[in-house]
Amino acid sequence: MERLDKILALQGTLSRKDAKETVKNGRVAVNGVTVRDSSLKISETDTVTVDGKELSLKKHIYIMLNKPSGIVSASDSKCEKTVIDLVPEKFLRSGLFPAGRLDKDTLGFVLITDDGDFAHRILSPKNHIVKTYEARLAGTLAKSQREILQSGITLSDGTTCKESRVSIIEDGDAPLVRIQICEGKYHQIKRMFAAAGNKVTYLKRIKIGNLDLDKALLPGECREITPEELEKIENGKFFSEF
């Protein structure tokens, strides 16, 4: 049970003061009845609306975004459009952040949440949650390059990367490959291929753990992740499914 003004402030984009004011002005209804007392205790089974729009009373929210190119993976930026700017109003609440960053020109699956513990669990390399990417390369992928990448490559600045898994989806002069890693070092995949003597010209994250990016989501679109899907993410440990 939480106070109504606290719930409004946590779930929406209102400050606690604005939440109180919103209730006072008769814009909030609980289970269909307009209320004016901000201290009212609300449980998860109640229905709360603001100006007729229903709020989510869930403790945390987990959103799958199909990130387009040109958007930064940050919570806010003074001059650039961020992944949070793409979240529809119905999912907005305070404390949202991307759990793991993609480069501005990388596409695909970004998980946005307000649950710091969950984010830590899926990002910590110790937990080995696999992140799967599709990459287009500028040159053919030699067997030796693939072997170095898979066994754990050392980058040009001496940073070492753990093992990865690389498979070819489309062979040729500019092959399309699938690569799986369980870390999130800065520009990791681009730098891994560079260290192996190749170049990434296109990069898309297609899966986190065992959860695929929903093919129905157009670039820039989001949807909520279900509890069953969250389990699929946490069950997707390195090499358990390839």
Please give the positions annotated as active site: 103
Size of the site for ligand URA (CB under 6 A): 8
Q: Which stretch binds ligand URA (CB under 6 A): 26-34, 120-128, 182-190, 214-222?
A: 182-190
Residue 168 CA to residue 170 CA, distance in Å, equals 6
Residue 6 CA to residue 137 CA, distance in Å, equals 50
The SS3 assignment for 74 reads coil
Q: Which of 93, 98, 95 is nearest to 66 (CA)?
A: 98
Instruction: Give yes or no for residue 183 binding ligand URA (CB under 6 A).
Output: no
Choice between 12 and 209, CB closer to ligand URA = 209
Instruction: Give yes or no for residue 187 binding ligand URA (CB under 6 A).
Output: yes
Instruction: Give yes or no for residue 180 binding ligand URA (CB under 6 A).
Output: no
Instruction: Give yes or no for residue 198 binding ligand URA (CB under 6 A).
Output: no
Min CB(18)–ligand URA separation in Å: 36
User: Of residues 188, 213, 222, 230, which one binds ligand URA by CB under 6 A?
Assistant: 188
Min CB(162)–ligand URA separation in Å: 14
Min CB(121)–ligand URA separation in Å: 19
Q: How far is CA 91 from CA 18, 62, 152, in A?
A: 19, 9, 39
Give the footprint of ligand URA on residues 90-119 (CB under 6 A). 102-103, 106
Choice between 24 and 187, CB closer to ligand URA = 187
Instruction: Give yes or no for residue 189 binding ligand URA (CB under 6 A).
Output: yes
Residue 130 CA to residue 51 CA, distance in Å, equals 42
Q: Please report, as ranges, the residues that interact with ligand URA according to CB under 6 A.
A: 102-103, 106, 187-190, 203
